[in-house]
Amino acid sequence: MIEEYTKEYWLNELRESAKFLESLYRTIVWDNELEFKTEKAVFLGCYAIRKLKESKLLSTELSGFNTSLISHPIKTEYESEDDEKWSKKYHFGQSDKHELALERLCNQFIHSKIYSPFVPGGLGCMGFFFASDKEYKKRVYYVQLIKIISIFLSVVQNKKVNLELEVNGANVSAVNLATHT
C-alpha cells in the first residue's frame, strides 16, 4: 500500500523513469545493462501505478484510462519448444487493435512472461512486445514507447498527457516532454 505521505516519492520516480525511457529513442548502442535498466524502469513504473490505484491515490479519470495497442495471435499450428525464441510462436503478419485499461496494462508488464524491447537496427528503442503469464498462450502485445512515457507522465501530472514524436532522420524525440516533466 502506498501512503499519501510517500506518494510524491513514487511520482518523482515515475517522472525520472519517463525521462530515462524517452532517452532510449536516441540510444543506438543496446547492451544487457541498458536492457536491464529499461525493464526495471517499465516494471517498477507499472508496479507504482498499480499500487497508487489500489491505494486510491489516482484520479478517477486516470484510473479509467485506456491505452490503444496491437496484438499478434499465437500460431495455432505451432508446437512450442521451451528453448525456442518466443517470437517464432506468433503471427506478426496479423494484428488486432486493443484498448487495455490502465490496471490491466500494468498487470501485463508486472506478470510478463514475454518482455522484449523493440530496437530496430540503427535506431533506438521504439516500443515493447509483452504478454503476461496468462495472455502469452493467446497473443503477444506491442505498445509504442511514447505511450508508456505518456502514461507515466499522465500519472505524475494527474491528467492525461499525450506526447508527440518528432522524427528527423534517425533522430527521434518527444517534442513536448519538457512541458510535462
- Per-residue pLDDT tens digits of the chain, which is 181 residues long: 899 999 999 999 999 999 999 999 888 788 999 999 999 999 999 999 999 999 999 988 888 889 999 999 998 765 655 557 898 899 999 999 999 999 999 999 999 999 999 998 878 899 999 999 999 999 999 999 999 999 999 999 999 888 887 777 666 767 766 666 6
Length of the chain: 181
Distance between CA 143 and CA 10 in Å, rounded? 23
Q: Number of helices (H) and strands (E) in the chain: give both, helices first.
A: 5, 7
Per-residue pLDDT, 164: 81
The predicted pLDDT at position 29 comes to 86
Say what the pLDDT of residue 80 is: 58
Integer CA distances (angstroms), 122 to 26, 30, 56, 119, 167, in order: 10, 10, 42, 8, 14
CA distance 167 to 174: 9
Distance (Å, whole) CA 24 – CA 42: 12
Phi, psi of 57 (to 5 degrees): -110, 10
